[in-house]
Structure 1
Amino acid sequence: MEDAQLYVSANALQRRDALVVLTEFLPQMAWQEEGENILDIGCGSGDVTRNLLMPLLPRVEQVTGVDISQEMVNFASKTFQHNTLAFRQLDIEKTVQPRQTFPDGFSKVFSFYCLHWVKDQPRCLNNIYQLLQPGGEALLVFLAHNPLFSMYQNMSEKIEWNKYMQVFNTITLHTIFTTLTTTTTATNPFSSSPIPSDAIKAVNPFLKRIPTESQDAFLMDCLNELAKLKTQQEDGKTVARYNLMIAHLLRPE
């Protein structure tokens, strides 16, 4: 997931789900009169942060987008500049004492379609807890299940690909937060037949590990494995159903 331009062109599903969730949950959050310091974890190419999240926020002093990929951060900084927006490189899973990087912390933390890639969930959520100011709120949106997970599992069991792949751990919420709302939502992605390879390529965490000369074969094998999962058909189009986890969390005072 290093190709920011490709991700911008192929993240319609992520933008759609983020908009639905923000529309529902932003009115439920408490907002300070003087403005707030906002963090977006896993900002990627920056388009969701700048064009979707920021216009919906009722009161903003500063927004910071962080991502594990320096390439994504560079693209976001160049493409989505704004006087109240900054992008920084940060690995939310592996960082130690994140308040050393952001001493003032944040009153609100958002994350869209990021945390299902994180292996050490307790450490990640502890870092989010540390970054939140007392009384601050987090809204975390990530995949609980997706046909891609089954596809990656099947691919990792193949001799030609298993050395390049890792299996993701099951996501669980840690108990350091007060959970205001945790809900699993079944929904449909934008569908097409066949599933476009760009959509797979844009969010594939293993592709950069594959030798360049084998990447096309790897992507084709991914598409073939998806086809074997017998996804449902609606109106002649392939529809992949997935479960979306939405966690609205509060750091106690």
Structure 2
Amino acid sequence: MNQASLYQRANQVQRHDAKLILDEYSSRLQWRSDGQDSLLDVGSGSGNVLMDFVYPLLPKSYEQLVGTDISSKMVGYANNCYRRYERTQFQVLDIGCDRLPEQLKGRFDHVTSFYCLHWVQNLRVALNNIYDLLRNEGGDCLLVFLASNPVYEVYKVLHTNAKWAAYMQDVEQFISPLHTSSKPAEQFKQLLNEAGFHYKNVEVRSEVFVYEGVRTLKDNVKAICPFLERMPADLHEEFLDDFVDVVVSMNLKQQTDGDQQQQRFASPYKLVVAYARKSSTLLGNVLSEMSSTKSLKGVS
């Protein structure tokens, strides 16, 4: 997923889902009463989902906005694109790391993440880290990621092809850890509970996205497929052709008139949408009470 400029143009599914979910959940976030919110986004990629849909929700007086990604190329691209925004920065972070950078611990009121956590095999560690990113007095997170997607089955098929096997030996590392779960919502809710979150709301939504044309499908695959980086560039188009052939064999191509480039491909997928709070008490209420206490002490 290091082709940042391509990802910026080919992440329609991520943008579509992020906007819908933020429209629904923005009023549930524990916004601070003083407007000094700080927010960290996990897996920001090229930055356009964060800046187009999350940034506008922040109070004008927000304290800081930090976008993170495991890819230094993505981070560099995002910093270059959005350098004009004050109190906003992008930095490298592996949310599945064993030890969080000390300077990030307990600094944020909100953590968001869109289409990232399915890349993390150890969700328990990732959730512990997200919990530790939030302020000690409380905070909340909105996490959206794939439970299952046909692309994972396509990867498995291509992995058995002698042409591609050498580039896909660790294919299981790039398949969502919930892909084969019979109860992904319950499993993820339990992980949130083990991490220490008090309030938890987890649902799994069944969605379908339609790719208009072979080129659109290929561009989306090219933007996110981790295996293309490992093979010579002159093999990319052949790999993408084989990818499309497998998609067709899975009966995901819709019947349409016209040439091949105008074919439509339906991708049914399951999306985890999770909202959780570190504290059982609304952060805004806590801050208001703290402010009132200080005022009373000043009067006395």
| C-alpha displacement of 1:95 | 4.7
| C-alpha displacement of 1:80 | 1.4
SS of 1:106's equivalent in the other structure is coil
| C-alpha displacement of 1:232 | 6.1
Distance 1:184 1:62 in 2: 31
Partner of 2:201: 181
Partner of 1:242: 269
Q: Where does structure 1 differ by over 6 angstroms across 4 or more consecutive aligned residues?
A: none
1:206-253 deviations in Å (ceiling 9; x for gaps): 211122232222121111111111126377633211111101011136
1:82-132 deviations in Å (ceiling 9; x for gaps): 102110011111251x15141442110000001111112111111111111
Partner of 1:229: 250
Matches within 5 A, 1:100-139: 100-134=102-136, 135-139=138-142
* One-letter amino acid of the structure 1 residue matched with residue 52 of structure 2: N
Moved more, 111-120 or 98-107: 98-107
Gaps of 5+ in 1: none
Contact map agreement 1:141 1:244 (CA 8 A) in 2:
yes
Matched, 1:30 2:51: no
Distance 1:169 1:89 in 2: 22
Distance 1:159 1:178 in 2: 48
Contact map agreement 1:99 1:131 (CA 8 A) in 2:
no
* One-letter amino acid of the structure 2 residue matched with residue 249 of structure 1: A
Partner of 1:143: 146
Distance 1:140 1:234 in 2: 35
| C-alpha displacement of 1:16 | 0.9
Distance 1:94 1:105 in 2: 18
Matched, 1:67 2:69: yes
Q: Over aligned residue pairs, what C-alpha RMSD do you find?
A: 1.9
Partner of 2:231: 210
Matched, 1:170 2:177: yes
* One-letter amino acid of the structure 2 residue matched with residue 230 of structure 1: N
SS of 1:181's equivalent in the other structure is strand
Name the structure where helix makes up a greater proportion of residues.
Answer: 2
TM-score calculated relative to the size of structure 2: 0.78
Distance 2:33 2:18 in 1: 25
Partner of 1:94: 97
Gaps of 5+ in 2: 179-186, 258-263, 281-300
Distance 1:179 1:217 in 2: 48
State the percentage of identical aligned residues. 33
* One-letter amino acid of the structure 1 residue matched with residue 201 of structure 2: T
| C-alpha displacement of 1:57 | 2.8
Q: Per the alignment, do residues 99 and 209 of structure 1 end up closer, same or farther by CA in structure 2, a change over 3 Å counting?
A: same
Matched, 1:220 2:241: yes
Q: Per the alignment, do residues 101 and 158 of structure 1 end up closer, same or farther by CA in structure 2, a change over 3 Å counting?
A: farther
Return the match for 1:198 from 190, 196, 219.
219
Name the structure where strand makes up a greater proportion of residues.
Answer: 1
How many residues end up aligned between the 2 structures?
252
Distance 1:234 1:18 in 2: 29
Distance 2:252 2:210 in 1: 13
Distance 1:138 1:29 in 2: 8
Partner of 1:50: 51
Q: Which has the larger radius of gyration?
A: 2
Return the match for 1:158 from 158, 161, 171.
161
Contact map agreement 2:247 2:253 (CA 8 A) in 1:
no
| C-alpha displacement of 1:79 | 0.6
